[in-house]
Amino acid sequence: MSNARKVSSTWKAPGSAPRDGTPILGDFGWPWPVYAVWDEYDEQWVVVTVQRSPMADGPDNTYLETDTEKHPSLKRWHPLPKL
């Protein structure tokens, strides 16, 4: 008997996305989905992407970058799995 949890692969309509600070996986029309959370103060989504920049003196520099997206930009969303 497996203890693994089943993860739903069904995307949800943008209007049903939580706007209470719950992080989600959002599809904003980019080639990949991104981690997003609603910013109640500015009334927009804060999104996080992983960036990579080659450095002249060695290995690539990897970092997280935040940006914002207006609410209508959200095409669909998926809840993050519980850990």
* Per-residue model confidence as pLDDT tens digits over 39-65: 999 999 999 998 899 888 888 999 999
**40 located within any domain:** yes
Q: How far apart are CA 68 and CA 13, in angstroms?
A: 19
Scanning the structure block, which residue is given the tokens 């049903």? 16
Q: How many domains does the chain have?
A: 1
Structural domain including 57 reads 14-79
Q: Is 2 inside a domain boundary? A: no
> Does residue 1 lie in a domain region?
no
How far is residue 37 from each of residues 5, 58, 63, 73, measured CA to CA in Å? Answer: 24, 34, 19, 13
Q: Does residue 7 surpass a pLDDT of 60?
A: no
Q: Is residue 62 part of a domain?
A: yes
Q: Is residue 6 part of a domain?
A: no
Tell me if 22 is assigned to some domain: yes
- Is residue 20 in some structural domain? yes
Q: Is the pLDDT of residue 1 over 50?
A: no
Query: What SS3 class is residue 16?
Result: helix
Look at residue 6 and tell me whether its pLDDT is greater than 80. Answer: no
